Structure 1
Amino acid sequence: MEINIAVKALAALAQESRLAVYRLLVEAGPEGIPAGKIGEALGIAPSSLSFHLKELAHAGLVTSRQESRFVIYSANFAQMNALLSFMTENCCGGAPCGPDCSTACPHVEGDHS
């Protein structure tokens, strides 16, 4: 992932409502949620929700599809995984440290036994 793409994604998530929307979409899984249900679940007005979804889509973090008269939004898991990989690619000096870095990484404080 290029740094400018990572910055755009992190900036999109650095807002309370957008982070809540993204977390809800992650919870929903690949099938996604209609925009109206997102607004209802999070108490976000339609005009504000539209703005937040546009920002998340612009950052590549969400996708949308039309189903009948509804727009269904889904988390773009590939983009988030790429962002997480970018953020951790140099963890443990670039050496693979496994799924739970905290137990193997000398940079994380705590009991590693």
Structure 2
Amino acid sequence: MVDNLVGDTWAAHEFLAHATAQGKNRGAWDAIFCAYFGEARRICDVDVLLDLADDLGIDRETTGQAFPDGRFRQRVREEAQVGRRLGRRSSSSPAATPTRGHRTATLCSTSCARSWTRPTRP
């Protein structure tokens, strides 16, 4: 198992909504899962999300502005409500729900699984 710090994933969900609006839904989901499960990166860290935006060819500055201005906050809240209606128990962050272009993703895509290596410990 990969050691990773857990944090509030709200920003990651806003990032996914932003990426979806940019036509990068599949790539963003793959990038999030690879970053968290394959590379043990903190997807609750906005700088990590901005790096993922760069990797996907999404403008870093526009992505960075999407967090403080909250342009996707309501959309993420609505998707969290859908998740609760579908039976998700946690209320701390939204669930991945198959609404508005989001899709449920496998834990690691094929590309992530191919590139994943277990980190060495010091």
Please give the TM-score of this superposition, normalised by the length of structure 1: 0.30
Identify, as 1 or 2, the structure richer in strand.
1
Q: Which has the higher contact order (CA 8 A, sep 6+)?
A: 2
